A and B are shown apart, each in its own frame.
Chain A
Amino acid sequence: MRSKRRDWSWRSRAVRGLIYQLVAVAAITAAIWFLAHNTLENMRVRGIQSGFGFLTQPAGFDIGESIFAFDSADPYWKAFLVGLSNTLRAALVGIVLTTLLGTLIGIGRLSRNFLIRKLCTGYVELIRNIPVLIQLLMWYFVLNEWLPPVADALNPFPGIFLSKSGMSFPVPEWEHGHLVTLGGLALGVAAAWLYRRWAGAAFLRTGIPRPMFWPALAIVIIGALLGWVAGGSPTALEMPIRNELNVSGGGAVTPEFLAVAIGLSVYTAAFVAEIVRSGIQSVPWGQTEAAGALGLSRGQSLKLVLLPQALRVIIPPLTNQYLNLTKNSSLAVAVGYPDLVSIANTTLNQTGRAVECIAVLMTVYLTLSLLTAALMNWYNARSAIRER
């Protein structure tokens, strides 16, 4: 009879498996240590200084655009933060735009209208076959050639200026009333959530379906409006003003940002469109027929039958596209947008800390990508088939 004790001999499969794994881990660790040690040792021998101490030194350079105040006397780590915020801004705007555009074009590819269908196919085939860097440069130079110099900026609507220096637009002047508006909005969201809970419970109890979307939206908007009125209905806007050399005041985005946001969204939308199209087509026609046979309306069958199944196919590759867009935003430096790579480049050259700066870049992009992936995996798990 076999003993219940663990078998520690070489014949044991478990022991051999453990040994192989230990050897593999040791080899990988040794290789990483060898590379890191050699790099540091050789940098020391050649008199190349290293370390992350430079991050607390004053940066000494200005950054063209930033969502928070940055001065050249601020330390390098703060410059990196500015770069990171600019990267995130471009990536977030890009992800929202590309999702909207990609979904529209993906649905357009299945349209019954010949012109729309062919135009959308043409878009996908044209855009996804041209390298993204070239598209970014194209958008940037097109914007720069088409728009007038800042001295005679276009003024298509009052308060909006469009020129080679970017787009300026009015922004609301901050008042306490806005805080009350935000409070109203939050209350509206809470009320909408409560309404949906009640409607869902009522449906389960009585079997009478109640509209879920429009009433909830109305509740949110009414909440925000009430808050705005309660806050004294603040309407003051900070308008951009034309100076002799340029336009100042108000909100502004640079042509660099426009080129990056437009270029990345347009490029990624071609891939998103294909994902949406294939997701919709992956749901068998029989499901639509079955939904019809049950007496569901077209909207209901789309919302309750088709979309939940299509989303399962769409979300994993869509995550990939979001990651690609975020990583591609590192090309922004080519058109002069001060993203993280641009800041790291400047820092690298002023301090000579090549290994450190590249390490910071790699860590940040890795973290961003893993966070995006984690978020999308959570959403994927939510919309996956629940086995009962």
Chain B
Amino acid sequence: MRQRTVKLLAASLLASAGALLAASAHAGKTLDAIKQRDQVVCGVNTGLAGFSAADSQGNWNGLDVDICKALAAAVLGDAKKVKWVPLNAQQRFTALQSGEIDILSRNTTFTLTRDASLGLFMTAVTYYDGQGFIVAKKSKITSAKQLKNAEICVQSGTTTEKNLTDYFKSINVKMKPVVFEGFEASVKAFFAGRCQAYTTDASGLASIRNKEAAKPDDYLILPELISKEPLGPMVRRGDDEWFTIVKWAIYALLEAEEYGITQANVDQMKSSTEPPIQRILGTSEDTGKLLGLDKEWAYREIKAVGNYGEIFDRNVGPTSALKLPRGLNNLWNKGGLQYAPPIR
């Protein structure tokens, strides 16, 4: 893994050297490059069930993965035209900065530091999350406040470590973090009993409990959420056109759910007379032209992966293995936070 980091660093140095000789950034060069190679290069998690994980045939599935598939469908007309680059927490920003990937769709929390100092932009929130704890039921711990002097396993290179420290400082309780570089090592250490608790985003906890625990019922996710974790894709600065495309590709999935357009009915909806639906599907105005795409961009997205609600249900929702409640991720008019600006 370290070798990869070093390789990425070397690549970023080389890319930096190359960029000085090349002309300065002009709008839309990411889109041009994607069209030329006929592929979107998408950075994803190395393996987080429900968000991005490869199955036994090597097909990638998950909520973060579907965002990239939707984007490929919108830009290139084919959801399969994606090259997947699995990245760990330490590699992800360098990979995006150096231009190895076009978009980082890897359960990444939006924070001020990341938005302002990494040369990257946050696009839109695809999952509202919060950091939580998982413990073994037989420890009889039912609240994070009982974790006095506990050892807590955590993966490095995330915002999780800082939240952990802040939280226990605020409730004036001492604990000891045990920090692992790799996700697998950290999870394995927890289930081997090295730590009394494991912490990461609540969605991740559900994923881990479901996939890594020998008996998922032996483990309890504590009720406390100790942070706000808005997760979503990031892109490089300096290409405003690509930034806009990614943002609206996500908004279109939300708009589709709001107006009842699904993967199954999208073809019938094309003959709808409702103006918002006509605009989304490109049967009246050509919104695609403004983005540098064609007018059926959103239609192809929905046809390929469905609307946001369908993506959620399929990957992490009640019908999936993770069984996460929709909660904050419901649409704004159903009690959630997902609110897309209008397509018009």
A interface list, Cβ under 8 A from B: 34-35, 38-39, 41-43, 45-49, 60-65, 72, 137, 140-141, 144-145, 149-151, 164-165, 243, 245-246, 248, 254-256, 330, 333-336, 338, 341-342, 345-346, 348-352, 354-355, 358
Contact = CB atoms under 8 A, between A and B. Distances in A.
B157 A144 contact: no
Interface of B: 2, 9, 12-13, 15-17, 19-20, 24-25, 89-90, 93-94, 97, 113-114, 117-119, 139, 148-151, 153, 156-159, 161-162, 164-166, 168-169, 175-182, 185-186, 188-189, 192-194, 196, 236-238
B237 A34 contact: no
9 contacts: A47-B117, A47-B119, A48-B118, A61-B165, A62-B164, A245-B196, A349-B156, A354-B12, A358-B9
Contacts of A62: 161, 164-165, 168, 175-177
A354 B94 contact: yes
B89 A349 contact: yes
B150 A246 contact: yes
Contacts of A63: 177, 179
A35 B118 contact: no
Contacts of A256: 178
B90 A245 contact: no
A140 B166 CA distance: 29
Contacts of A165: 151, 194
Nearest to B19: A42
Given A35-B17, A62-B165, A64-B151, A345 B97 contact: no
Given A165-B151, A248-B149, A351-B113, A38 B20 contact: yes
A148 to B, nearest CB: 8
A164 B157 contact: no
Contacts of B113: 350-352
B9 A246 contact: no
Contacts of B93: 349, 352, 354
B100 to A, nearest CB: 13
B88 to A, nearest CB: 10
Contacts of B151: 64, 150, 165, 246
Contact of B169 (A35, A72, A245): A72
B194 A61 contact: no
Contact of A342 (B118, B153, B158, B179): B179
Contacts of A349: 89-90, 93, 156-158
A49 B97 CA distance: 12
Nearest to A54: B117
A144 B189 contact: yes
A141 B192 contact: yes
A243 B157 CA distance: 32
A151 B140 CA distance: 12
B149 A60 contact: no
Given A64-B179, A336-B179, A352-B117, 7 more contacts: A47-B119, A47-B238, A62-B177, A165-B151, A245-B148, A246-B149, A350-B162
Given A48-B97, A149-B193, A39 B149 contact: no
Contacts of A345: 90, 156-157, 181
A39 B16 contact: yes
A295 to B, nearest CB: 58
B149 A41 contact: no
A46 B237 contact: yes
Nearest to A338: B179
A255 B192 CA distance: 12
Contacts of B189: 140, 144, 336
A145 B192 contact: yes
A144 B187 CA distance: 13
A38 B161 contact: no
B238 A46 contact: yes
Nearest to B111: A350
Given A62-B164, A164-B193, A245-B149, A47 B179 contact: no
4 tightest Cβ-Cβ pairs between the two chains A and B: A42-B16, A48-B119, A46-B119, A144-B192
B17 A39 contact: yes
Of the candidates B156, B159, B161, the one having the most CB atoms from chain A within 10 angstroms of its own CB is B156
Given A45-B24, A246-B151, A334-B182, A61 B161 contact: yes
Contact of A46 (B148, B149, B192, B236): B236
Contacts of B165: 60-62, 72
